[in-house]
Amino acid sequence: MNIKFDHAGVRLEADRFLKLEQSRGIRVTCRSGSLWVTQDRDARDYILGPGETLELEHAGDAIVFALAQSELILSEPAPKPSVLDIFGQKLLDILNDLGNWIAGQFGPGAIGKRGLRGWHGAL
């Protein structure tokens, strides 16, 4: 069974472990206790205490081992925006800047900034 979730709380008794398959991108946050984390293709091991978070960077499996009774949160980061999302946001920013410029040049607040032009100045 393959269950999908965006985050989950887990309690591990001391000396118990959790195996995370295909763990790249998963964030492990220690809420209480102490965790030892090791992952495939990473020569380093990590010890997490309360409030500390580790984002798993390597493809493959990872093991989270409870050095003491621990509570942890597993979560996946928000999906990265697509190129279309980034382009759309940039376009909205440009249009917003253009609208602000137009309002500054021709809106009600611009009347006092510019002198009278044309035949109005002759009066």
Domain ranges of the chain: 7-75, 80-111
Compute the distance between CA of residue 37 and CA of residue 45 in angstroms, rounded to an integer: 6
Predicted TM-score (pTM) of this structure: 0.59
User: Has residue 1 got a pLDDT over 50?
Assistant: no
Give the mean pLDDT of the chain.
85
Q: Helix, strand or coil for residue 26?
A: coil
Counting Cα atoms < 13 Å in the Cβ hemisphere of 36 gives 11
pLDDT, tens digit, for every residue of 14-28? 999 999 998 888 999
Question: What pLDDT is stored for residue 66 in this prediction?
Answer: 97
Total H helices, total E strands in the chain? 1, 8
Output DSSP code: residue 119.
G
User: Has residue 120 got a pLDDT over 60?
Assistant: no
pLDDT, tens digit, for every residue of 74-114? 998 667 788 888 899 999 999 999 988 888 888 777 666 65
Taking domain 7-75, whether its CATH number is 3.40.640.10 is answered by no
